[in-house]
């Protein structure tokens, strides 16, 4: 009776909130109040793929779902990004049918700290982990705490296949007893840099504490590593980028297993996202040609290199939420060589952003001194903190600090035919998108 009541009440709440463009976690909270183990029941006939990690899980989840849909695989996903237990419960109940013969695939994004709670009730076919970076220290702690959260979830799912970033030392350190593992990464990378930055985490061997040696580094602490003392090193890769044929701010063209794959997004992190989704698709026996065509036709996820217009100006919105992702976003923008552009930095300190914003001092913002920047502005709750950090990059730069989104929009509308990159923390991205939606500059909130 509790199960039945939980499903019916939650489906009704979902319908009501959908009409108001609201709510992706609240219905699941109600469901859990009525029936605490409801997820166990509504996931029973679902073949589940869980995708977690610090950066890239939203894009990887959306891309994997896109590939499956193009392969005529009946699947659903938590596309709004509600990746904690209540949001995931909402997703399963929304797609639940009382017809027990109905079977679907769930491609589900999971918050790293929530994986162990979700895995109590779900028996996934695959658990994919994109990477582990320092992120929201007040929520997750340092990287080894995040790793332990993920390991606790994996331990509950002994039959799940693991899809892991092989360039991530923390993921290669998983004990041999854990499941069937598939590693993805870079076969080679044209980068003369083989020393990690001082601010990089996880640069010492997890087993003996000695620093890693690298044949190459892709970014942060990812790359072809080995311990300088013990025998710990990168695992053999099952799916690898053999070459990057083209790389610019709008596109990557790569080679995997002799397949040429076009990615309509710039940035190394997007190559990793594609690699993860490609590996999942291969394990699930999706034909190569469908996977490759789907990657090429994939549209960007909201707030992740999302492009839109404000009058005659072209805006691109980037989500930045930790030093590693922020630095790689700046590297991506640096591919726009020569062209003049303006930049906006929107920073909040809400719970979902991390209330400690000191991490912005670990970002290599000095990189923007090499950019051809026309104007810089800041916004969000911590607009003045962001402006102060930017003023330390170059005290001669004029930085406009806005306290209201309305003022930012007025400023943007006053420009003509400009290229503008806006880098937002998580809740800033959601708030500013919603604000632009209400001003008729965007077609949808999600």
Supply the residues annotated as catalytic: 356
Q: Which of these, 156, 152, 370, 151, lies nearest to 164 by C-alpha position?
A: 151
Residue that has been written with the tokens 């009382």 in this structure: 98
CA distance 186 to 303: 26
Choose among 70, 63, 57, 5: nearest CA to 32.
5
Token output for 298: 């994939």
Who contacts 397 (Cβ-Cβ below 8 Å, separation ≥6)? Answer: 373, 376, 390, 391
What is the layout of strands, in order, in the sheet containing 306-310?
A: 306-310, 313-319, 419-424, 341-346, 373-379, 399-401
- Taking the C-alpha atoms of residue 215 and residue 226, their distance in angstroms, rounded to an integer, is 8
Q: How far is CA 128 from CA 46, 82, 138, 374, in A?
A: 17, 17, 25, 41
CA-to-CA distance for 295 and 277, rounded, in angstroms?
9
Cα gap 349→426, rounded to integer Å: 9
CA angle 211/361/368 to nearest 5° reads 100
Residue 240's beta-bridge partner residues? Answer: 185
**Strand spans (E) along 233-384:** 239-248, 251-256, 259-263, 306-310, 313-319, 341-346, 373-379
- At residue 318, what are phi and psi to the nearest 5 degrees? -115, 135
Give, in degrees to the nearest 5, the angle at Cα 374 between 372 and 380: 110
Placement of tokens 């509504």 in the chain: 42
User: Residue 193, by phi and psi: left (phi above 0), alpha (psi -120 to 50) or beta?
Assistant: beta
Q: Which helix (H) or strand (E) holds 76?
A: strand 75-77
């Amino acid at each position: 009776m509790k199960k039945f009541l939980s499903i019916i009440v939650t489906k009704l709440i979902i319908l009501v909130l959908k009409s108001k463009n609201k709510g992706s976690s609240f219905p699941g909270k109600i469901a859990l109040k009525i029936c605490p183990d409801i997820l166990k029941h509504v996931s029973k006939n679902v073949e589940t793929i869980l995708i977690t990690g610090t950066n890239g899980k939203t894009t990887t989840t959306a891309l994997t779902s896109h590939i499956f849909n193009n392969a005529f695989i009946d699947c659903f996903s938590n596309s709004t990004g509600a990746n904690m237990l209540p949001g995931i419960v909402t997703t399963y109940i929304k797609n639940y049918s009382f017809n027990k013969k109905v079977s679907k695939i769930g491609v589900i994004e999971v918050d790293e700290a929530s994986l162990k709670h979700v895995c109590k009730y779900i028996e996934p076919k695959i658990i994919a982990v994109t990477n582990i970076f320092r992120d929201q220290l007040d929520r997750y702690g340092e990287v080894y705490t995040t790793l332990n959260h993920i390991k606790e979830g994996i331990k509950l799912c002994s039959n799940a296949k693991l899809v892991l970033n092989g360039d991530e030392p923390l993921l290669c350190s998983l004990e041999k007893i854990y499941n069937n593992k598939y590693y993805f990464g870079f076969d080679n990378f044209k980068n003369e840099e083989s020393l990690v930055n001082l601010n990089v985490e996880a640069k010492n061997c997890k087993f003996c504490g000695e620093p890693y040696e690298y044949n190459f580094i892709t970014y942060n602490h990812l790359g072809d590593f080995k311990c300088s003392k013990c025998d710990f090193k990168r695992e053999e890769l099952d799916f690898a980028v053999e070459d990057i044929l083209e790389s610019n701010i709008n596109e990557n063209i790569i080679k995997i297993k002799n397949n040429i794959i076009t990615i309509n997004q710039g940035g190394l992190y997007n190559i990793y996202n594609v690699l993860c989704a490609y590996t999942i698709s291969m394990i699930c026996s999706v034909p190569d040609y469908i996977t490759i065509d789907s990657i090429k036709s994939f549209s960007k996820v909201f707030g992740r290199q999302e492009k839109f217009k404000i009058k005659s100006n072209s805006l691109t919105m980037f989500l930045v939420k930790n030093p590693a992702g922020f630095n790689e976003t700046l590297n991506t923008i640096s591919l726009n060589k020569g062209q003049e552009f303006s930049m906006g930095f929107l920073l909040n300190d809400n719970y979902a952003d991390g209330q400690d914003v000191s991490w912005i001092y670990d970002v290599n913002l000095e990189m923007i001194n090499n950019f051809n920047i026309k104007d810089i502005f800041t916004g969000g709750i911590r607009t003045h903190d962001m402006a102060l950090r930017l003023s330390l990059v170059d005290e001669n730069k004029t930085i406009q600090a806005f306290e209201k989104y309305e003022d930012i929009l007025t400023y943007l509308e006053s420009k003509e035919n400009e290229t503008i990159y806006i880098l937002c923390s998580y809740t800033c991205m959601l708030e500013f998108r919603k604000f632009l939606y209400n001003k008729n500059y965007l077609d949808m909130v999600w």
